[in-house]
């Protein structure tokens, strides 16, 4: 009888403890996508999530476009990314539905098996409720599943439901090439143009979201999965936003830039950014300083950066490029809250903390995503010589060479007075949206 009483009390305590955690908000650094399984669709890539001997770390630099940097050591209890979205990728040339599903499942299972084998430090969360519980009740690194590039994957509502059952939170519908869903942005450069040559030569008026793309967005919503607009060609994204407005489906964008600062085909205009927030979605920025440099920027931003460079406080391609775009995007969104809400009397400063969560700005590192990251600020590869009388953060000396340096990035930005709260709020906003999708599946008929 005594044992039964103890078990009963423990069960009640545990239930109450879990319920409390489901009501608590999250404030942490959440990386909206890394790619630890790049070696599955592209076998020339080094295996991700392997441990190295602590006294013999791999030699890595910020120039790592085709090199694995997602070592398990760097993910483990990472204060710069407590929650990490593991993005599985399809091959751009996949032709078979069966093959597309097989490749993604292999990647999901790889991550699941890794977390099980290292359960003291890692856990895969397949629902937003699990994320909250693990965040508040453990110190584990929490992994969430996503898929980047849905080519051949979403052919029916049943397909979308299948991925929801695997715990996939969002799918980036487009990737590097045009598909059955619509047109992908063609990045500047010979290789990327060649990769999506059909899209590059297609007339702009034909580069739109296709009916199958609209249907896929709806199927995903009906399954409780968010659609990521990243990588969409400008008109394709506009079509998607118009359709999502009609269907009342919140959009997210995980790693496109602010077009006023980086004016390329991948970037999002201010008008579309506000449209995303009006539809109760949110935006995240890529974190690589090399990717965040100014391109055909509006005069206001170009002149502002020129002044910073002249004053010796901006090293293009370093953490400074991320800092610049993040702060300018933050100012743009927060100064337009009245426009988003449709009430000019509403000011961001007067909102409650809970209301401010809606205007969060996330980040996505894209480690192993075929790109280099932020260069050093100082030293041989930086803009400034090393001052031996100063103490530098590793991010200043090494650049963003691997995920283990994310914490250094946030420490440095905090020291420099950057408001990081919108980034920390993004984890809560993401979980709120995922919860909304899962609870409103029947709303999208």
Contacts of the segment 102-107: beta carbons below 8 A, 24+ positions apart? 103/40, 103/41, 104/147, 104/153, 104/163, 105/166, 106/37, 106/40, 107/37, 107/40, 107/41
- What dihedral angle (degrees, nearest 10) is formed by the CA atoms of 97, 249, 23, 4? -40
Query: If we measure between CA atoms, which residue out of 405, 417, 338, 305 comes closest to residue 365?
Result: 405
**Per-residue pLDDT reduced to its tens digit, 97-132:** 999 999 999 999 999 999 999 999 999 999 999 999
Query: If we measure between CA atoms, which residue out of 40, 199, 198 comes closest to residue 104?
Result: 40
pLDDT band at residue 443 using 50, 70 and 90 as cut-offs: confident
**Per-residue pLDDT reduced to its tens digit, 298-349:** 999 999 999 999 999 999 999 999 999 999 999 999 999 999 999 999 999 9
Backbone angles phi, psi at 179, to 5 degrees: -145, -170
Predicted local confidence at residue 95, as pLDDT: 86
Contact indicator for 185, 233 with CB cutoff of 8 Å: yes
Predicted local confidence at residue 145, as pLDDT: 98
Average pLDDT over residues 383-412: 97
- The model's pTM is 0.93
Would the pLDDT of 202 be above 70?
no
Predicted local confidence at residue 92, as pLDDT: 82
Average pLDDT over residues 425-431: 98
Bridge partners, 147 (sequence order)? 88, 171
Contact indicator for 146, 85 with CB cutoff of 8 Å: yes
Contact indicator for 424, 135 with CB cutoff of 8 Å: no
Would the pLDDT of 20 be above 80?
no
Averaged confidence pLDDT in the chain: 92
What does the alpha-carbon distance between residue 272 and residue 258 come to, in Å, rounded to a whole number?
A: 10
What does the alpha-carbon distance between residue 372 and residue 329 come to, in Å, rounded to a whole number?
A: 22
Average pLDDT over residues 267-279: 97
Lowest mean pLDDT: which of 193-207, 251-265, 293-307? Answer: 193-207
What does the alpha-carbon distance between residue 278 and residue 245 come to, in Å, rounded to a whole number?
A: 9
Would the pLDDT of 425 be above 90?
yes
Predicted local confidence at residue 13, as pLDDT: 39
Residue found under tokens 């979201």: 209
User: For residue 95, what are the contacts with CB-CB under 8 A and spacing of at least 6?
Assistant: 152
Parse the chain into domains and list their residue ranges: 26-443
Would the pLDDT of 206 be above 60?
yes
**Per-residue pLDDT reduced to its tens digit, 223-235:** 999 999 999 999 9
Predicted local confidence at residue 192, as pLDDT: 62
Would the pLDDT of 10 be above 80?
no
Predicted local confidence at residue 442, as pLDDT: 86
CATH number of 26-443: 3.20.20.140
pLDDT band at residue 207 using 50, 70 and 90 as cut-offs: confident
Handedness of CA 52, 57, 58, 61 (dihedral sign): positive
Both ends of the chain: CA-CA distance in Å?
A: 52
Backbone angles phi, psi at 33, to 5 degrees: 175, 125
Predicted local confidence at residue 262, as pLDDT: 97
The b-or-e profile of 130-146 (16+ CB within 10 A means b, else e) is bbbbbbbeeebbbbbbb
Predicted local confidence at residue 91, as pLDDT: 83
Predicted local confidence at residue 169, as pLDDT: 98
**Per-residue pLDDT reduced to its tens digit, 43-78:** 889 899 999 999 999 999 999 999 999 999 999 999
Predicted local confidence at residue 189, as pLDDT: 62
Max Cα separation, the chain? 78
**Per-residue pLDDT reduced to its tens digit, 169-190:** 999 999 988 899 999 986 666 5
pLDDT band at residue 94 using 50, 70 and 90 as cut-offs: confident
Predicted local confidence at residue 35, as pLDDT: 97
């Amino acid at each position: 009888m005594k044992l039964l009483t103890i078990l009963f009390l423990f069960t009640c305590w545990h239930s109450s403890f879990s319920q409390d955690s489901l009501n608590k908000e999250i404030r942490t650094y959440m990386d909206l996508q890394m790619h630890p399984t790049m070696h599955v669709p592209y076998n020339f890539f080094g295996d991700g999530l392997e441990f190295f001997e602590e006294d013999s770390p791999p030699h890595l630099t910020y120039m790592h476009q085709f090199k694995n940097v997602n070592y398990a050591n760097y993910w483990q209890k990472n204060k710069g990314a407590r929650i990490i979205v593991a993005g599985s990728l399809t091959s751009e040339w996949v032709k078979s539905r069966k093959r597309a599903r097989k490749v993604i499942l292999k990647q999901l299972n790889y991550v699941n098996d890794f977390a099980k084998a290292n359960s003291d430090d890692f856990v895969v969360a397949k629902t937003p409720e699990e994320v909250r519980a693990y965040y508040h009740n453990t110190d584990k690194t929490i992994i969430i599943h996503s898929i980047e590039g849905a080519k051949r994957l979403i052919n029916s509502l049943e397909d979308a439901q299948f991925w929801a059952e695997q715990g996939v939170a969002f799918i980036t519908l487009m990737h590097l090439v045009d598909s059955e869903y619509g047109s992908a942005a063609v990045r500047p450069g010979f290789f990327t143009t060649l990769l999506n040559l059909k899209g590059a030569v297609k007339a702009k008026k034909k580069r739109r979201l296709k009916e199958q793309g609209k249907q896929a967005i709806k199927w995903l919503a009906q399954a409780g999965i968010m659609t990521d607009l990243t990588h969409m060609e400008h008109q394709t994204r506009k079509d998607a936003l118009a359709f999502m407005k009609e269907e009342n489906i919140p959009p997210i964008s995980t790693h496109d830039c602010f077009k006023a600062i980086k004016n390329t085909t991948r970037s999002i205009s201010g008008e579309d950014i506000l449209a995303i927030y009006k539809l109760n979605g949110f935006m995240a920025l890529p974190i690589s300083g090399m990717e965040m440099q100014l391109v055909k920027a509006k005069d206001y931003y170009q002149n502002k950066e020129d002044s910073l460079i002249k004053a010796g406080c901006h090293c293009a391609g370093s953490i400074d490029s991320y800092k610049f775009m993040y702060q300018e995007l933050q100012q743009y969104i927060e100064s337009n809250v009245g426009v988003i809400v449709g009430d000019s009397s509403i000011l961001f400063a007067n909102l409650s903390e809970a209301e401010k969560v809606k205007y969060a700005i996330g980040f996505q590192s894209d480690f192993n995503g075929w790109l280099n990251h932020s260069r050093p600020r100082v030293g041989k590869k930086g803009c400034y010589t090393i001052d031996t009388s100063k103490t530098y953060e590793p991010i200043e000396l090494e650049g963003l060479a691997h995920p283990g340096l994310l914490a250094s990035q946030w420490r440095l930005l905090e020291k420099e007075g950057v408001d990081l709260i919108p980034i920390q709020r993004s984890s809560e906003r993401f979980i709120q949206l995922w919860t909304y999708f899962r609870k409103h599946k029947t709303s999208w008929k």
